[in-house]
Every structure is written in structure tokens, then in C-alpha cells.
Structure 1
């Protein structure tokens, strides 16, 4: 499924690379003269700077923010929706192939850890002791007195951990603001290039280090928090643990990307009244936007995460195998009679491998779902992200195969119809991804402002668009001058800044102009329209692509028909056997009665021939008169024969 969208990403990237020399905005920035000066980037000891310093950044920004960006966003959203529908079909095919079509978890035994927790509770332990061992009922665990406090504590610590992660991301934001201010004060002529290109790389690497540390801390914390809860079955435990794992990692990996995409540069203010945090001015986007910085951050986190995971997935099992082998060898060296056992038995060799547990697959699932989020949520900012994911998956398949065969004990197969709660998580991520693509297009690209500008100019050209996006500021309106002494540009009377505001000579200086509100309304309308269009198309795709293919459905119906025919034939044969058996029993009973009657009749004849005895009918006792009459008839018959 990654191959088609990877090809589309390559084509869009090549299109941007081929046409970046024709972008009028980049041309205006690169050809700007020294009279186009930008306002200082800090409030103290900062000089003005030239707009053309962002020439390289504007060209690179055009690679991902061009006329085809909205089409790529639409393709990515449709791909995410189609992927889930095709996964349902593929899952149905696997279910049928593995013979799990009718398999359900109707009855699942309680976890031993759950029963142990009940034993630790005095009241519940008494109920368990009083329970009949053969009873089908279990003691009911009250929610408010038993389950509420562990669950509340677990989710409270979960929220606290999320806040810690957000604080870490906020600290990185403050770090970047401090770095920007320091380089504005002490930097050289190339400080603008450093702030535009190098600073995002250094900040991204630090983010990756912090994310990797919090990743392993959150993994252990999620297990501890889930162990506190009263999860009765293994399925409940796995789902609760999975949700905690993913929520932690969602905040951990995506927070910085969401900040750059939707918050950075949106609430900066203007030179006369900048919004500050701890005395530092908020980060600003380049005149071309923050999409290039989002691309750099995505590359560093996505590629860095994949590299770190690949190294640890192979290195940790290998080191654990060597450690177990060494410890076992040292422990058995004193027992010479067991050294031969270690070298001759496969199960002792397998003991050195990493044990397989119920949570061994969590890391693999989590890695794929996090990668799915990178592609769908922020793939718009980097068209080559699907290609990198495809390359990673090809390598990951081989690494996982080596790891499973060489470093992990053989797992015990368990029945499962699907991937469980992971599919629900992917469905939620897909819905968020559609909204994310719409909001990135609306607020982080120049699509809507370009359309409004083309409509306002009536000639549908972008000449002068750069001047449309840069506001004027009169340097006399500074409350405190940002530069001490004289600027290297001489006496600067006005500077530009990237905002939609009225010029100082307007009757309402520095206020929002009418076209700003028009752009905002169109942006919000675009989000609503984009989401509704994707929602309608999702409904059509779900109808057009059923969860079970027609061929497989016919095969299942045919198998069910043959199964019913087999059951009917079996029941028919059983009915025939039962009928024959009953008939045989009935005939046998009648034959037995006939034989018994003949035997009794012969016995009576023998008794009469011997001159005595009494006559008795085998079926019922007759009256004495009838018996005497029969005796006379018998004597007369005998006399006639003589």
C-alpha cells in the first residue's frame, strides 16, 4: 500500500524541484534590494536584516508548498481512508485462511494476576473462599469501593506524564527562542541563515534525544499503571496497556510537530506589541511560512526514531542472549556433570534467548502505528515520507525475521481474529489526519492567501504577492529602540514584518484589515469543506469496497452450504440408524414373545401328555371354566386321532 503513495510523493517532489525557479514569490525574495529591510528579531540589541537572506529557505519551502500541495493532501487523505478499508478485506482473507471465521472470545478465563489482587482484598478474599469451586459465578468486584481508586490514580498519573512531556516540548520552544535571541545579538552576517536552516536541525536532534528518553520511561510507566487496575481478562489488560502506550507516544512524538504546524508564528504580535514568554519573544516563521521547518523536524524525528529502534531491536536481544549464556556458563562450571547437558539439549540453548511474553508484540505494533501517524498526519510537509517508510519497512521485515529466529524463544501460537484495539487507534488517527491535512493547508501554506490575492487583483497573477503578505512598521513607533546606536543600514524609517496589518499611515494603524478576516473565513470554510468531502468519499469507498470480497464471500457461503449439507446427511444417517435400531429392537421383542409363547405351549402339552399338570396361558390367566373347556376339547381331539 505504500508503493502508490510513495510514487505520488516522488512525483510531487520532482515537480517542485523542476518548477522552483518559476515561483514568483521566491524570485521576489531573492531579487529584493537592500531597501526591503525586515524588523529586528529581538527587542534588545538587534539590527534590521535583509529579506533576501531568506532566498534559499524560500526556494526550499516551495518544494513542499506549491500549486500541487492541495492535491497531494487530498491524495494522502484518500489513501489513509482507503488503506483502512483494504486492511479490513485483507484481515477477512487471513481470518478465512487460518480457519477463524467463526472464532469468538465468548468465554475468557480471569488472569491469575487478577485473582491474586482479589485475594489481597480481604472482603473479596472472603467471597472467593465462600464460593463453590464448581459454581459458574464469580464474586462481583464493586467499582466505587475497589476499582475506582486504582483507575483514578492510574489515569491521573497518565495525565501528569503527558503534562511532563508537554513541559519538555515547551522547554525546547524556550530554548529555540533563547538561541534565536542570542544569535540575533551576537551573530554575524550569516546569523539569519543559521536561524533559518541550522537551528531547526539542532533543535530537532535535541528533540529526538528527549523523545527517545521519554519513550522508554513511558513504556515502563504504562505497564506499572495498568498493573494497578483490576483488568479481569488478558484482553482487557492488553487493550488498557495499548491505549496508555499509544497516548504516551502520541504526545511524545507528535507534540513538537503539532506546535510547528499550528502554533508557531501564529500569535507573535507586531513590533509595537510583541507577545513574550519569560521575556523572550515568540518564535516567528520565515516570510515563506513554517512548512519547511516542519519538514526538517519530521525528517529528523521520523528517520531518527526508525534508526534508533532498529539498533535497539537488534542490539538488546543480542546482548541479553550473550549475558544469559555467560551467566549460565559461570553458574554451571562448578557442576561438571551438567556441562554436557548444556551442550547437548536444545531447550537449554533456547534458555539463553529472550523470553516471549504477551507484550512482546507491543513494540512492533506501536512502531508501525506511530509511523502511520507520521505519514498521514504530517506527510503533507514532506512528500518523500511514504518512500522513507517503505524503505524502513523493507529493512524492518528482515531485521524482525533475524530477531525472531536467532534472539527470541519460540512463541506459543494463540488464536486471534484481528489486531485488536490497534485498528480502532488507526481509525481515530485517520480521522485526525484528515483534519490535520485540512488545517495545514489552511493555516500553514500560502494557498488561501494566494487565492484571495489573485481574486483581489483581478488579473489572477502573483506579482506583488510578497508585498501583500508583508506589513509596514514605522520605526518611530517603537516603544524602546531594538538597536543601541546607529544601524549598519543607516537611518531606517520603516521596516517590514510578516503579518496582515494596516500600515502606519492608515486611519486604523496596525489593526487587522478586512482582507485578513476574509482570509480567515475562507480558511475555516476550506477546513469544513475538505473534511466533509473526504467524509462523503469515505462513505462511498466503504460502500464500494466491502469488508469481505465477493469471491471470498461466495467461498464462505459455499463452505457453509456444504457444512449444512454434511450435517443434514449426518443427521439423516443417524436417524436411519436409530430407526433401524428401534425396528430391530421391536422385532427382537416380538420374536422373543413368540418364542416364549411357543415354549410355554409346548411345556403345557408335555404336562398333559404326562397325565397331570395344569394349563396356563403365557399372556394372561384365564377362568377355570375356560380351562376345563379347553381340556375337554384337547381330550376329544386326542381320542379322535386314536
Structure 2
């Protein structure tokens, strides 16, 4: 694992000379640092080595078998953009890149342009791009965390009898090149090239770095005269080229066992130890993932693995809460009273067609509600708020370790490249960069503000579209509940409200998926309109827009059910109506929590199923269809002889927005797992099961179904971390409101301490809940119904005569009181208790979150000690190097016959 050298030590040429000077007689050069290629193994690699005679046949080299292919461009001869391509390719050769063309074996109209960067070009652009390379061995320093992991492994070994072989552990014999030497690194410099450790110029820059350098060149090559006519991206967008990608390193399958014959290549190694379903229970080889796909993709899988591991305790506690509800179901006084309330007749829940019903008919729903709304719900909500904070704080520590191990500590934004689009748009306006001291294009403040205002207006408009869609769903619910109540089938007629909720959720999901397509195009347009300066700024802006769109789109209906459904319906005889026509929907007699659970469960399962199909199923079908056509036309043996560029071209390209879809899926899942977890404790368990599959699905997709993505550098997960923090704060607020408003926790608590048989005794057991159901229902005189609300059934089927009174959920005075249907004192007590609970819950949980954030340092102590020790060793190395330089200079002066003492001041 390479290690960064502090930037403060590289401020002057003198310090650079001190750090990079060779010390052949000292300890530092006695322990020689073997340069490890991120994708091309060093001399100590024990795996199979490429045979030069096979270079021509494996599709990774030019026809001469010596020049490795660093990048592939694909176009069609029938494409009319010939002139642009010719200018572009002529300028590519002018930059020093070597080029070779091949016709496709399956379609003569398709031309593959193979590009190779020679040593001179690589060295030139590596220096311009500040590519860090190893130059000095470092002293090994043991991590305390490794000692801790060894103790864990010893405990696990005791249970090796029933666990799979080497559970949660990497097979070191399968991964021979995961053992990487520790080296100091510094930005590559051609003037000081002799200080870097170069065993072979062909493998000094690994394949990922070579492809990144070539891509950097292609992004700045002109295809027409004029500064704004540059870049490969524009040629891809206007159809001049069909595709551009680096090559995979060969097949991911092998006829021979990896344990007996070793890995054929790094892709094969990744498939066997990471993408294979047989290793689902083992740790991910993140170092190998990083070396093959780059730091950005490596950080995604590191974060996904960390998130999945942290879901284990959350899923266990959530399952415990659910099982607690199951075990206490028979002892729940509220559900008992509901099931035994055969004499309590409830008012209809919709106009005309909905009949009167016994409260005991909702016995099943009352029991299901208790499974999620019980005494452990509050504890679980507090736990999940704390869990979200612990997850984020420990991820910061984990990220710091990864950034250190992957040589990302000193990688800052100022090393990023300016987007070619920004460079072309503002090429006429330049100013001095205060960091580099070089002139660069800049965007005027007024221009930037005007573009941001237009973009914000677009975001606001799209959010209004989401609200309009939710309003449409509300109208559907209030209209169809009466339709289902008049349905011919008794099953649907008797469960009209459940049928309404279920169909509304499915329709809502379809609307969500359709609007997501529109949001993507709008977000892309608005982001390009803003003209971000760098790629990271573009990604952050696009990410924020898409997250806002999809978060509101996905959760707006859930918020409606949780906080608005049944809250503003009025009461029998004075219902509130939508557009003065449709009666607003009421909650089920057992409460609204069952509707919220259905909404979350259906959306979560459908969303994850659809995402998994689109991520893996769709590429599998497309690749299968391509292979099928090739077999029909050329046969199986001819297909196996296709060169690598032909095989990769037939794979699916990676998403145009990189890892955006993968992150967005997991972040939205994180929101479902935390924001409404008080209403659905099984959400963490569903998320855990999905993520265990998701890791292997993504790994399989990256290794086998997608073309190899361009390796990119990143030091963290970017704006996603800020979004996670925002979700964590929002989850505290929403869970407080769910417990206080949506569930019956507070009304039950008020009844137990104030109005129940144990009032004033300080008890709150099940015996104190006797009579709660009757106390939570108000009485309505049937003759007070409005004409348009009066049910067609008069309730005579219950008592043999027309029904005189019915009950409904609310705290209101009876019809013959001095103030008919006015709020009772219990209503105000419950309202005050709800507000007090929200305030106390939020302040308590936020205090705990801030305390945890303060107590957990962002940097682990062992990492901090290691960095301090390296700083000390660097100072020692610099001192020894300077001393050696003076001694060497003195010997040379004496050798030349000059007087050292006369010239030395």
C-alpha cells in the first residue's frame, strides 16, 4: 500500500532533492522497495506471467505484440462525421499516442481504434497530472487494529466446525498479490526520474493509470479549429464515436482451478474471490478492487460493505422488537378489547356504500398493528437515531484509514482537472489561480448567480410536479374506497380500505418510476446549465438535484399517510371534503399505522426488486441476446477466438453517471431504514438481506457484464456523506412525529396515567389499559348524518332494528352534551402530551447524537500515531540524505583537485 509524502515537505526544490536523493549505502536503499503495479504485478508476483508469443492472440496488444492497448475507440464507417474523426485522430498522433485500427469480425462497418501511450507521453502527462508514484521503502509499523482482528479470528476459529471455511476472511493463498509493499510516494517528475524505482518502463505505470492518462489527453484534443471544439465526450455525444473504453485484462473464467494454477489475470481473480456467489459471506478484497477499478469504485464498495456490516445490529434489534410484539400479542389488552368488542358498531368510513361494521371485525388489523406499535417501539426509534450517528462517525474513521492506505491523504480538489465544457465556455475570460499561479478560465459571479437562480426555479417546479402527483393519488384513494365498498366480490367489499391502500401504493410506485425518467433529464439539463467548473462539482450538483427529486418522489406519499391521513377529516355529520365533493379518507378503526406499514413494505420490496433487475437482469438479457446472435452467425469456436476489444464492445457500457445509481439506491434505502423505522421495525432486516445480495450483484455486474470503467480517484464518497447526515437529522424528527402522531403510544400512555383504572398510581401495565378502546371512541347519532354521507345500510343487520348510534375514533363529546361533538378534556391532554413528547424526544436524541459525535474522534489513534511516526522517519531520512549529499559533494571536490575548505563558506 503506497503512502503519501506530506505536501509541506515538497514546497521547495531543496526539500525535494533531500527526499529523493539516492542513498545506496544507507538502510533505506538496503531494503529495496519493489514497485507494485496496481494492475500489472511486480517481479515478486507468483501468479501466471504473460508469454510474449501469446500477446498477439490475447487481444491486449497491437499486432507487434509489444505495445499494450491502453484505450479503445469505436466508430462506424457509415457515420458521416468522417472529417471530425480525421482531425481528431491526427491531433491524437500529434500528442504522441500510437494508433492502430482493426475491423470488427462480426460487422465490417465497425472499426476499432487501438491507442497506446509510449513512455515519453506517459512521463510527460503523469507529471502534468501530478500522478504519485512510489520511490522509497517505509519502515513497517503495526496497526493495533490488526492485533484486535487476530483476537477475533481466534474466537471464530473455535466455531469453525459449523461455520463455512474461513468465514468473513480472505483467502491469502488465492490472492497472492494482495500483499503490497509500503512505499513513500511523490508526484512523478521526469527531471528526477532516477529517484523512482523503475524495474520495467512497460509496467511502471499500471494499466489503470495508463488509461487515465490517455483519457486525459483525449478530453483535450481538438476535433475542429477553435477552443470550444475539443474533447472525446463531445464526439461521443454527437455520434462521431460509438464507444470509448479501456480493456478488461482477459476472460473472467478459466478451465483450470485458481487454487492449483493461479489466476489467469486480475479480472479472473476478482471474479473468483469477489463476484462469485460462493464467497458471499467473506470480506471484500477492497485493495484488489481499487487497483482494478480505481479508488472511486473501491470507496463505493468499501462504504457499501461498511453500511451492510452496520446493518447487522440494527436488523437484530428490529427483529427483536417485532418478535417482542409477537410474544406479547396475547397479553395486549388493547387488541383483546378490539377482538371482543362485538357490541361496538363503528360508523362507515366512506359515503353511502360503506356499511356499518363491528369493531371486532378489525381484530386482525389490531393484532398486526401491535406487532409494530408496542412498548419497544420508542426504544427502537432512539436506538436507530443513535445507530445512524454511530454509523456515520465510524465511517469517517474507516474512510480515514482507507484514504491513508490508498495514498489519498494529499489528494485535494486543486489537483482536479477543469471540465472541458467549462474550459470551452469561458476560455475568453481568464484569471490567475491563487494556488497554482497559472491563468485559468473563470465564471463571473453575476453569470453564476443567474444560472443558479434558473436552476433553483427548475428544482422548485419539479417538486411541485411531485406534490401534484401525490395529490392525484389522494384523489384516487378517496374515490376508489367507495368503489371497492360497492364491489361485487365480498373479499374486496369487506376489505375495501386495504384494497384501496394496496392499489394506491402500486399505482404510486408506477408513477414514481415514470417521473424518475423525467427527473433525470431535467436534472441533467439544469446541471449543464449551471456550468460547474470541475467534474466533482458537476457530480455534486447533479447528485443533489436527483436526490431531492427522487427523495420527494419516493417519500411524499409516505409522509401523507404518516402525518395527514385521517388527521383532517372532521367528524360524522361535518366531514371535511376535497373540492367540496369527496370526503377525505379516514384511518382504519385500528389506526393509520397499518397503512404506513403497507406503504413502506410494498414500496421497499418493489423498489429493490426493480433496481436489482435493472442493474443485473437487464444487462444479462442484453448480453445473452448478443452472444446468441454471435453463436448463430459464427459458431461457438469462432466466438472464443474474438479479441478482447471485440468481447468488451459486446458488453454493456457503465452508466453514464458513474456510480450515481448505485449510491442513490443505497441512500434512498438508508432513508427508508431510518426515517420511518418506528412504523416498520423490519426495514433494517430487509435492507440487510438486500445488501448482502446487492454487493455480489454489483460485483458480478462490474466484472462480467459491464465494460471496464475508467479508473478515477476520489478520497471520500463526496456529497453523499452530507446527504446521509441530513437524513440522520430528519429521521429523528420524523420518528418523533410517527410515535407521537401516527401511533397510539401517547394516547395509551395518557389513558394509563390519567384516565385508566391505575390513574394516579404511577403504573402503566396491561391492567391499566382496561377500558382504553371504549375511552378512545366517541359516540355519534346516526340521524345527524348528512344526506350525501348517510349509508345505504341502516344497520338493522346488527340489532334487528335501525341503528341509533355508532362510534368513531376521536375525543369528542356525545351528541346530547351542552356542546355536541366538541373536543373533550382528554383530547387536549393527549395533544399536550404529544407535543411534549416530540420536544423531549428530539432534544434527548440530538444531545445523545452530539455527545457520540464528540466522543468518537474522526481519526483513529493508531492511524494518528502511525502518521506521526512517518513524519518523524521522513525527517530522519531527510537529515541522512542531506548529510550524504554533503559528504558526496566533498568527495567529488577532492577528486577534482579543488580545495573544499577554500570554497565552503
**TM-score bracket, shorter-length normalisation:** 0.7 to 0.9
Residue in structure 1 matched with residue 323 of structure 2 by the alignment: 14
Q: Secondary structure at the match of 1:379?
A: coil
- 1:32 matched to 2:349? The reply is no
Partner Cα separation in structure 1 for residue 488 and residue 770 of structure 2: 33
Contact 1:77–1:433 (CA under 8 A) maintained in structure 2: yes
Partner Cα separation in structure 2 for residue 517 and residue 72 of structure 1: 27
Partner Cα separation in structure 1 for residue 901 and residue 394 of structure 2: 68
| Structure-2 change in CA distance of 1:561 and 1:254 (3 Å) | same
- 1:292 matched to 2:599? The reply is no
Residue in structure 2 matched with residue 265 of structure 1 by the alignment: 566
Shift of 1:511: 1.5
Partner Cα separation in structure 2 for residue 191 and residue 492 of structure 1: 24
| Structure-2 change in CA distance of 1:46 and 1:311 (3 Å) | closer
214-223 or 72-81, which deviates more? 214-223
1:190-234 per-residue CA deviation (whole Å, 9 max, x = no partner) reads 567413433322222222222222223322332222122211111
Shift of 1:308: 0.5
- 1:71 matched to 2:379? The reply is yes
Residues 36-51 of structure 1 aligned to structure 2 (within 5 Å): 36-51=344-359
Residue in structure 2 matched with residue 492 of structure 1 by the alignment: 803
Q: Secondary structure at the match of 2:779?
A: strand
Residue in structure 1 matched with residue 829 of structure 2 by the alignment: 518
Gaps of 5+ in 2: 1-309, 759-763
Partner Cα separation in structure 1 for residue 714 and residue 640 of structure 2: 36
Partner Cα separation in structure 1 for residue 340 and residue 440 of structure 2: 79
Shift of 1:270: 0.6
Shift of 1:532: 1.2
Contact 1:54–1:192 (CA under 8 A) maintained in structure 2: no
| Structure-2 change in CA distance of 1:293 and 1:483 (3 Å) | closer
Partner Cα separation in structure 1 for residue 652 and residue 487 of structure 2: 53
- 1:475 matched to 2:777? The reply is no
1:106 maps to which of 402, 411, 414: 414
Residues 185-224 of structure 1 aligned to structure 2 (within 5 Å): 185-186=486-487, 193-224=494-525
1:369 maps to which of 655, 667, 677: 667
1:448 maps to which of 746, 753, 769: 746
Contact 2:890–2:900 (CA under 8 A) maintained in structure 1: no
Residue in structure 2 matched with residue 93 of structure 1 by the alignment: 401
- 1:2 matched to 2:311? The reply is yes
Residue in structure 2 matched with residue 549 of structure 1 by the alignment: 860
8-17 or 301-310, which deviates more? 8-17
1:606-626 per-residue CA deviation (whole Å, 9 max, x = no partner) reads xxxxxxxxxxxxxxxxxxxxx
Greater Cα radius of gyration, structure 1 or 2: 1
Partner Cα separation in structure 1 for residue 819 and residue 476 of structure 2: 36
Shift of 1:143: 3.4
Shift of 1:584: 7.2
Contact 2:894–2:900 (CA under 8 A) maintained in structure 1: no
Shift of 1:150: 3.6
Residue in structure 1 matched with residue 707 of structure 2 by the alignment: 409
Of structures 1 and 2, the one scoring higher in RCO (CA 8 A, sep 6+) is: 1
Residue in structure 1 matched with residue 37 of structure 2 by the alignment: none
Contact 2:423–2:441 (CA under 8 A) maintained in structure 1: no
Residue in structure 1 matched with residue 528 of structure 2 by the alignment: 227
Contact 1:260–1:290 (CA under 8 A) maintained in structure 2: yes
535-544 or 82-91, which deviates more? 535-544
Partner Cα separation in structure 2 for residue 116 and residue 425 of structure 1: 31
Contact 2:345–2:806 (CA under 8 A) maintained in structure 1: yes
1:139-178 per-residue CA deviation (whole Å, 9 max, x = no partner) reads 442233x334443333322222222222222212211111
1:390-427 per-residue CA deviation (whole Å, 9 max, x = no partner) reads 11111111111111111212223222110000000000
1:260-300 per-residue CA deviation (whole Å, 9 max, x = no partner) reads 11111111101121111131111111232111111111111
Partner Cα separation in structure 1 for residue 456 and residue 463 of structure 2: 10
Shift of 1:479: 3.8
1:464 maps to which of 745, 750, 771: 771
| Structure-2 change in CA distance of 1:164 and 1:535 (3 Å) | same
Contact 1:343–1:349 (CA under 8 A) maintained in structure 2: no
| Structure-2 change in CA distance of 1:287 and 1:588 (3 Å) | same
Contact 1:474–1:494 (CA under 8 A) maintained in structure 2: yes
Contact 1:268–1:274 (CA under 8 A) maintained in structure 2: yes
Residue in structure 1 matched with residue 249 of structure 2 by the alignment: none
470-479 or 520-529, which deviates more? 470-479
Partner Cα separation in structure 2 for residue 203 and residue 369 of structure 1: 24
Q: Secondary structure at the match of 2:676?
A: helix
531-540 or 361-370, which deviates more? 531-540
Partner Cα separation in structure 2 for residue 409 and residue 166 of structure 1: 39
Partner Cα separation in structure 1 for residue 388 and residue 718 of structure 2: 19
Contact 2:312–2:688 (CA under 8 A) maintained in structure 1: yes
Residue in structure 1 matched with residue 277 of structure 2 by the alignment: none
Gaps of 5+ in 1: 119-124, 334-338, 593-642
Partner Cα separation in structure 2 for residue 169 and residue 310 of structure 1: 26
Contact 2:466–2:552 (CA under 8 A) maintained in structure 1: yes
Partner Cα separation in structure 1 for residue 540 and residue 397 of structure 2: 23
1:32-83 per-residue CA deviation (whole Å, 9 max, x = no partner) reads 123x111222333544222111111111111001111111111111111111
Q: Secondary structure at the match of 2:796?
A: coil
2:812 maps to which of 481, 501, 525: 501
| Structure-2 change in CA distance of 1:348 and 1:190 (3 Å) | closer
Contact 2:339–2:363 (CA under 8 A) maintained in structure 1: yes
The count of corresponding residues between Structure 1 and Structure 2 is 575
290-299 or 195-204, which deviates more? 195-204
Partner Cα separation in structure 2 for residue 25 and residue 430 of structure 1: 33
Residue in structure 2 matched with residue 306 of structure 1 by the alignment: 608
| Structure-2 change in CA distance of 1:49 and 1:565 (3 Å) | same
Q: Secondary structure at the match of 1:102?
A: coil
| Structure-2 change in CA distance of 1:273 and 1:560 (3 Å) | same
Partner Cα separation in structure 2 for residue 533 and residue 590 of structure 1: 75
Contact 1:226–1:237 (CA under 8 A) maintained in structure 2: yes
Residue in structure 2 matched with residue 349 of structure 1 by the alignment: 647
Partner Cα separation in structure 1 for residue 739 and residue 381 of structure 2: 8
Q: Secondary structure at the match of 2:479?
A: helix
Q: TM-score, normalised by structure 2?
A: 0.60
